[in-house]
Chains A and B, each alone.
Chain A
Amino acid sequence: MPPTAKSALEAMPDGGPQQPGTRQPAPPRPRRVPAASRRGPDSWKGTLAKIILLGLVDAVAVYVLTALFLGQSWAVLAIAALVTVAINWVYLRPGGLPAKYLAPGVLFLLVFQVFVVVFSGYIAFTNYGDGHNGSKDDAISSILTSSQKRVPDSPAYRTAILEKGGSYYLLVTNPDGEAQIGTTESKLEDAAGAVKDSTGKAKELPGYRTLTFQEIVTHQKDVLGLVVPLSDDPAAGTLRTQDGSNAYVFRSNMVYDKAADTLTDTDTGTVYRDSGQGDFVSENGEKLATGWKIDVGFKNFVTAFTDPELRGPLLSVTLWTFTFAIVSVLLCFALGLFLAITFNRSDLKGKKVYRIIMILPYAFPAFLSGLVWAGLLNPEFGFINNALLGGVDIGWLTDPVLAKISVLVVNLWLGFPYMFLVCTGALQSLPEDVDEAAKMDGASAWRIFSSIKLPLLLVSVAPLLISSFAFNFNNFNVIYMLTAGGPRFEDTTRDIGATDILITLVYKSAFGVGTGRDYGLASALAIVIFIIVAAISAISFKQTKALEDVN
C-alpha cells in the first residue's frame, strides 16, 4: 500500500493547496493563536458551525418527536428522545473527542446495519408477509371492508365528485335531501354550504372543485376507489359509486362478535374463528385471506428444513451457493494469475493495450453485465446460438447444468480482471533475488513458480480470496440478472431454480412476483446466511491473522 499511496499522492491532480512537487504542505496559515493555550481555542467560526449543525439536528429531532407523539408510538418515542439527548451530550460536553468524530457514522451504522440485522432476527420468528401485515384489529376492519356487497334495497344517493388538493371526495344528496361529503379516509359528514341544482341535488361545495363527466372518466380508477364510511362503526357500511352520478350503500356480510372473537358470514351462516395462527378459519378449514401478524416461534425455520416443497430445493440451493462461490473464486484466481504471469514481462509489446482491454469487463457496471449476457445467451434469439453457432438451439440458460456453467463463465468474465490486477500487483512486489537464487540452483520454471512464487503470492492474496469468496456467496446481481435463478426445479411449486443462490431465494421469497410475499420465511433464510457467513469469517479471521494488524 505505501508505495502506491505515495505515487498516487504525487499524481493527484487536485490534492488540495499543496504544490505538485512538495511532499509535505506547510501547515495551514497560522491563525490568531495565543501561544499559551495548549489545546487550541475553539475559533468563533467553529463554534458557530457547531451551533448551527446541532441546531439543525435538534430541529429535525423535535419534528420527529412531535410526529411520534401524535402517532402515539411510545416505545419509538422513548428511543428517539434518548438518541437526541445522547447526540447533544456528545457534542456539548467538553472532551470526549473520539465520540464526536465517531458519532455520525456510528449512528447510521447502528440503525441501518446493526438494528436491521436484529430486526431480521425478529421477523424470522413471525408470520409477517402477504395477508399477515398488521394487527388483529386492522385485519378485522379490513375483512369487514373488503367483504362488502351492495345492500339490495339501498336507496340511491345522488352524487357529485369533488376534488381538492389532488384528492377526491364524494358529495352526496342523501334520500332526505341533505348534502353530505366524505372520502375514503373520513366518514360522511354534513356539507352545509353545498350549492344545489334545480332538482335538489348538491353539485358544488365552496373550496372544492366539481369534476366534469369527462374528468370522471379519466380518473375512473380513483373515483371507483372511493369507499366512504357511513359512520365510525365499520358495520354500518360504506357508500360507493360505480358511475359517478349515483352512490349506493355497501354493507359487509361479515359480522364480528367481539365477545366470542368470531366472524360470521350472514349470507351463509359460516362462523370463522381465530385459529391461533394469525388467521380466521371456518369449521371446515376455509381460511379468510386477510390475517394478522403473530409470533410463530421457530415455524419458519422448521418449514425451511422439513417442508417437502422447500427442503430438497433449499439443500440444492445451499450446495450450489457454496459451489458457485468457491468455483468462481478459483476460476477467477487461476485465470487472473495465469494472465498476470503471462504479461509480467517488461519488454512485452502492447502490454498496456491488453491490460486496458482486460479491465473493461470490470469497469462495466455489474448489473448490466448479467442482462447483456442474458441477451447473448438467450436460447431462442441470442447472438451466440443464432449468429455464432448458426441457428442451433442450445439451452444455455434453460438447461440446469448448462445454466450453471453459463453463470460461472459470466462470473469469470466479470471477476478475472480483478484477480489479474491483484496478482500483477502481488507478483511485482515479490523479491527478485529469490527467483535468481532458485535459477542458480537449477530449478525449472515450473518449480520456481509452484514452490516459491505461488506460496509467497498466496500470503498476500489469501485475504483477498476470502473476501472475494464472501462477496460471491452473496453475488445477487449476476444470478438474478442472468437467470433470475432459473430454470425452475420441477419438484416444487415454489419459485426456486437450479442457479438460485441463498440470497436470491431470500429476495424472491420476500419480494417475488407472482408468489406471495413471505417476509418471515425470507428473514429466516437470511438468518441462515448470516450464520454461514459468520462461521466462514470466524475461520478466516483465525487463518489470516487479521487480528494482529489491529493494535
Chain B
Amino acid sequence: MSTLTSQPRRSFPRWFRDKGWRHLVGVATSIFAVFPLLYVLSAAFNSTGTLAGSASLFSQISGDNFAKLFGNEQRPFGRWFVNTMVVGLITSAASVFLGALAAYAFSRMRFTGRRAGLLSLLLLQMFPQLLAVVAIFLLLSGIGEIIPALGLGSQLGLIMVYLGGALGVNTYLMYGFFNTVPQSLDEAAKLDGASHVQIFFGIILRLVTPILAVVGLLTFIGISSEFVIASVVLTDPNNQTLAVGLYSFVANQRTEDWGVFAAGAVLAALPVMALFLFLQRYIVSGLSAGSVKG
C-alpha cells in the first residue's frame, strides 16, 4: 500500500492505527479465502494427476487433466454438466413460478386459512427435505413401479421432489416483495376490466422481476450443489448431476484421480461463481431477507 508516500503529512503509526490494520486484516482474510481456490486451480493444471504430486502452486501448466476429464466414458463429465443445467434450470424456473403463484394469492387475496397457510409455510421452512430422504427414496421406488418415467433414476422424478420444497423456501421471501407493489395498481387495472390472470402476468410479475431473479438464482445455486437426494435418486452415471458425479471421482480413491477431479471442480464451479459475482447485488438483497444458501 503506497498510502504512506502519497500522504506524507501523516505519520506511519497514525495511518496504521487508523487504516493500515484494516488492510492487514483484509490481506490476511483474502489469503484465507482464496488459497483453497488457487490450490484447486493449480491442481487442475498439474499433469501429475495425483494428490501427492503438487509440491508448489502452479509448478506446471498443462491441459492433460481436462482432456482426461472429457475422455472418461465411465464418468461422463459432459453429461453431468448438461444434467445439472437441465435439472437446475427446470427446477428453478418451476419453483419461481409456483412460488410466485402462491405469493400472489397470499399477498392480494383474503381467504380463510390464509394466515394458517402462511404460518405453516414458515414452519415447513425449518424442515429441509433431506431429513426425509429415506421416505423420498421409497416413495420414488413405489412411483417407479407404476410410472417408470418418474421413479428412481429419473431426473423428472428428482425435479418433482425438488419442487416439493419450492413453496416452503420461496413463498415467504416473495410474499414480502409482492407486498411492496402498491395495491392501487391492481385496482386500477381491475377497473379497466383486466382479469386476475392479466393482472398477475401483465402487471405483478413484471414489477417483481428482481425477486424472481433472486429466488431463481438461489434455487439454481442450491440445486446444483444438492447431493443427498440426487445421490439416492440418480443411480445411472449417465443421469447423474455434477455433485453426485464429482463425488464419485474422489469417493473411493481420494488420491488417484485428484488432478482430473480438480479440473472437473474448476469447470463445475466457474458458471456458478460467475453467475454469483455478476449478480451479487441481487443475491445479497435476497440474503438479507433471510434465505440461506444450501
Contacts and interface: CB of A to CB of B under 8 A. Distances in A.
9 contacts: A5-B211, A16-B209, A41-B193, A364-B37, A378-B254, A386-B52, A421-B288, A507-B228, A550-B118
B273 A364 contact: yes
Interface in A344-382: 345, 348-350, 354, 356-369, 371-376, 378, 380-382
Contact of A506 (B29, B131, B268): B131
Given A71-B146, A369-B36, 8 more contacts: A8-B210, A120-B134, A339-B25, A362-B293, A386-B52, A413-B33, A418-B293, A503-B130
Q: Which of A33, A64, A101 has the most CB of B within 10 A?
A: A101
Contacts of B102: 101-102, 105-106
Q: Closest 9 CB pairs between A and B?
A: A112-B164, A33-B193, A16-B206, A28-B202, A363-B276, A40-B195, A4-B285, A101-B105, A381-B52
A371 B287 contact: no
B25 A342 contact: yes
B81 interface: no
Contact of A1 (B176, B227, B282, B293): B176
Contact of B132 (A16, A41, A117, A426): A117
A377 to B, nearest CB: 10
B89 interface: no
A373 B36 contact: yes
A140 to B, nearest CB: 20
Interface of B: 1, 3, 19, 22-23, 25-26, 29-30, 32-34, 36-37, 39-40, 43, 50-52, 54-56, 98-99, 101-102, 104-105, 109, 111, 114-115, 117-119, 122-139, 145-147, 160-161, 163-168, 171, 176-177, 180, 185, 188-190, 192-198, 200, 202-203, 205-207, 209-211, 213, 221, 224-225, 227-228, 231-232, 242-243, 246-247, 250, 254-255, 258, 261-262, 265, 268-269, 272-273, 276-277, 280-282, 284-285, 287-290, 292-294
Q: Which size class do A's interface residues fall under?
A: 35 or more
Given A18-B206, A357-B33, A523-B134, A476 B129 contact: no
Contacts of B294: 366, 471, 475, 477
Contacts of B132: 113, 116-117, 119-120, 526
Nearest to B244: A367
Given A12-B209, A421-B284, A117 B135 contact: yes
A237 to B, nearest CB: 27
Contacts of A480: 227
Contacts of B176: 1
B211 to A, nearest CB: 7
Nearest to A477: B227
A371 B250 CA distance: 8
Given A8-B282, A68-B146, A27 B29 contact: no
Contact of A105 (B1, B30, B99, B280): B99
B28 to A, nearest CB: 10
B126 A506 contact: no
Interface stretch (A243-251, A252-260, A527-535): A527-535
Contact of A101 (B25, B37, B104, B168): B104
B136 A2 contact: no
Contacts of B123: 537
A360 B280 CA distance: 11
Contacts of B206: 15-18, 25
Contacts of B128: 471, 474
Interface stretch (A86-94, A213-221, A461-469): A461-469
A440 interface: no
Contact of B210 (A12, A104, A343, A371): A12
The DSSP consensus for interface residues of chain B is: helix
Contacts of A464: 288, 290, 292
A547 interface: yes
Contact of A375 (B29, B43, B160, B203): B43
Contacts of A422: 287-288
Contacts of A64: 146-147
Nearest to A368: B265
A354 B29 contact: yes
Contact of A27 (B33, B129, B202): B202
Nearest to B288: A425
B3 A97 contact: no
Contact of A104 (B98, B137, B207, B285): B98
A120 B131 contact: yes
Given A348-B22, A474-B131, A360 B285 contact: no
B32 to A, nearest CB: 7
A14 B3 CA distance: 41
B276 A27 contact: no
B51 A463 contact: no
B119 A105 contact: no
Interface in A2-38: 2, 4-5, 8-9, 11-12, 14-18, 24-25, 27-28, 30-31, 33-35, 37-38
Contacts of B198: 28, 31, 40, 43
Contacts of B289: 1
Contacts of A417: 33
Contact of A98 (B3, B33, B114, B130): B114
B255 to A, nearest CB: 5
B213 A12 contact: yes
B213 A119 contact: no
Given A371-B265, A383-B39, A105 B167 contact: yes
Contacts of A361: 33, 36-37
A468 B292 contact: yes
Contact of A4 (B137, B190, B288): B288
A439 to B, nearest CB: 16
A82 interface: no
Nearest to A366: B225
Contacts of A325: none
A511 interface: yes
Given A16-B209, A537-B123, A349 B1 contact: yes
A117 B131 CA distance: 8
Contact of B277 (A28, A348, A363): A363
A343 B28 CA distance: 13
Nearest to B109: A98
Contact of B30 (A101, A104, A354, A365): A354
Nearest to B195: A40
A27 to B, nearest CB: 5
Contacts of B29: 339, 354, 358
A237 B137 CA distance: 34
A1 B284 CA distance: 10
B33 A343 contact: no
A109 interface: yes
Contacts of B197: 46
Nearest to A417: B33
A7 B98 CA distance: 25
B292 A381 contact: no
Contacts of B23: 350
Contacts of B163: 108, 112
Contact of B3 (A349, A383, A519): A349
B228 A112 contact: no
A349 to B, nearest CB: 7
Given A34-B193, A71-B146, A123-B135, A477 B225 contact: yes
A131 B234 CA distance: 22
B36 A108 contact: no
A67 interface: yes
B1 A115 contact: no
Contact of A387 (B36, B55, B185, B261): B55
Contacts of B177: 1, 5
